Each structure stands twice: as structure tokens, then as C-alpha cells.
């Protein structure tokens, strides 16, 4: 899939799925705007990619900062075709009655409000262009409860419903909106989950997790018409048919 001329914005791009996606999108010819809370954390990745990458310090929970990141991308590259909403947090992990309310709210600010902030910032651009793709990195936790993950489950369920609503409101204007549920991925988040020991996911062996390059490759595939049957919904990378369609083994 040739993405030459396309501009892709990726939040949470400093590591894990976000960093892997940045490399794969750039390898396919796209220009990439890389977002993370610290631009320093992105410096090495942006340098490796070269002139087709920019590093932007952005806390996705800050609506004004997300808007400024979109403005910077437009000034630099002249357009914005894809938003990958990948930034996310897992803490606090614990039973609800034992959870600090401020920490619970902070996760909602990142995982749910951060998705809203990104969508709100890019939709006017995509409407004006008459096309665009918004993909949110979702989770199986959006669709079923997991012990100790009240904030994470609630945030991902809310983000999934945002995907459905925005698809309903903007598909007719050329904006494609969908989500990717990648399964368990070998990233730093899984190390936090492992350390908690609170539920069956924390008991998984590291070899049970897929590499971040797999969901990154799926994100590229989701930017093509081949994924149009999933607009307004989540694609699960646990589905063997999806893995075959993406070219994963």
C-alpha cells in the first residue's frame, strides 16, 4: 500500500504501537506527525525517519495542545489525512473501592477525553478536504469487564462509542472512522499489567503477546478500502481472518 503524499498523525508515538506505526507508515511513503508528552522522547525516532517526520510535544488530555499540534502539522505538511489515536494509560489498576478518584479521572482524561480532543481537532480539516481516516486504538476491555480495570474498561468503552457516533455523523462527508482492538501486545503497558498481578491478563507469559509491529501493520491496512466493511466498529486482531487479510502469521 503506497501512502506517498498522505500525512498521518500518531499520538503516543514515542514507544510501543505508536513508534512501530510511525516507522511502518513512513516506510510506505507517508509523512508522519509524531505526538507524545515530551518531544525529547520522540527525537530519536523522528531523526531516524528524517525530513518526513516531525516531533510535537502534546498531552492529548489538553484540548488546546492537540489543536496546536494539528496546526503545526498543517503548517509543516499542508494537509492531514489520518489520525491514529494511540495514546493511552492503564493505571490505576485495582479494585474500585481502593482506587484514588483523582488517578481514575486522570486516566479518563487521557484515554477518553484524549480521543475526543483528537477527533474534535481533526474533523474540520478532514471535512474541508472531503476525506480522512480516524483510527482509535481500542481494546477488548471496551467490550467486556476486566477485574481491576474499572477506569481502563470505562474509558475504552466510551472511546468505542465515540467511534460509532462519529462514524454515524461524518461518514457521508468522506471521513472514515474505526477502531483497532489489537489484543495483548508486547509493550511497556503489559509490564505494568504483569506487575499488578490482579487478573488473568497479568498472568500471561511474555511470549503470549504479539509484537507491536503487528497492530502497526494492521493500522496501515485499515487506511485502505479493504477495511471499509468495519467502518464505525472495532477490528479485532485476535480474529484469524483479519490477521490473514492484514498479511500476518
The x, y and z cell numbers of residue 204, run together, are 500471561
To 5 degrees, how large is the angle CA 116–CA 117–CA 118?
90
Contact between 148 and 200 (Cβ < 8 Å): no
152 labelled catalytic: yes
For residues 97 and 100, give the distance between their C-alpha atoms in angstroms, rounded to a whole number.
8
Which contiguous run of DSSP H or E holds residue 203? none
Cα 58 from chain centroid (whole Å): 14
Q: Cα dist. 172→10, 175, 222, 235, 249 in Å?
A: 24, 7, 18, 21, 35
Please report the beta strands in 42-131, taking only residues with DSSP state E, as ranges in sequence order.
53-57, 82-85
How big, in percent rounded to 5, are the helix, strand and coil portions of the chain? 55, 15, 30
- What lies within 8 Å, CB to CB, of 94 at 6+ separation is 148, 196, 198
Exactly one of 66, 77, 104, 152 is catalytic; name it. 152
- Residue 98, Cβ neighbours under 10 Å: how many? 8
- Residue 52, Cβ neighbours under 10 Å: how many? 14
- Nearest residue to 129 via CA among 5, 2, 1: 5
Give me the active site residues, please.
152
Amino acid at each position: 500500500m503506497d501512502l506517498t503524499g498522505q500525512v498521518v498523525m500518531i499520538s503516543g508515538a514515542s514507544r510501543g504501537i505508536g513508534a512501530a506505526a510511525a516507522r511502518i507508515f513512513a516506510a510506505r511513503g507517508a509523512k508522519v506527525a509524531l505526538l507524545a508528552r515530551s518531544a525529547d522522547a520522540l527525537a530519536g525516532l523522528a531523526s531516524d525517519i528524517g525530513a518526513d517526520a516531525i516531533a510535537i510535544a502534546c498531552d492529548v488530555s489538553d484540548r488546546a495542545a492537540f489543536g496546536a499540534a494539528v496546526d503545526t502539522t498543517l503548517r509543516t505538511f499542508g494537509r492531514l489525512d489520518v489520525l491514529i489515536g494511540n495514546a493511552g494509560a492503564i493505571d490505576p489498576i485495582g479494585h474500585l473501592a481502593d482506587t484514588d478518584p483523582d488517578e481514575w479521572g486522570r486516566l479518563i482524561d487521557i484515554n477518553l477525553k484524549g480521543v475526543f480532543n483528537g477527533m474534535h481537532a481533526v474533523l474540520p480539516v478532514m471535512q474541508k478536504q472531503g476525506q480522512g481516516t480516524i483510527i482509535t486504538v481500542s481494546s477488548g476491555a471496551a467490550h467486556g469487564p476486566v477485574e481491576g480495570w474499572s477506569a481502563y474498561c470505562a474509558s475504552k468503552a466510551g472511546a468505542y462509542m465515540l467511534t460509532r457516533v462519529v462514524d454515524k455523523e461524518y461518514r457521508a462527508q468522506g471521513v472514515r472512522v474505526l477502531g483497532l482492538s489489537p489484543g495483548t501486545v508486547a509493550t511497556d503497558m503489559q509490564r505494568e499489567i504483569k506487575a499488578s498481578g490482579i487478573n488473568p491478563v497479568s498472568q500471561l507469559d511474555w511470549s503470549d503477546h504479539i509484537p507491536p509491529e503487528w497492530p502497526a501493520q494492521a493500522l496501515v491496512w485499515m487506511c485502505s478500502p479493504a477495511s471499509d466493511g468495519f467502518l464505525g466498529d472495532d477490528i479485532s486482531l485476535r480474529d484469524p481472518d483479519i490477521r490473514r487479510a492484514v498479511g500476518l502469521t
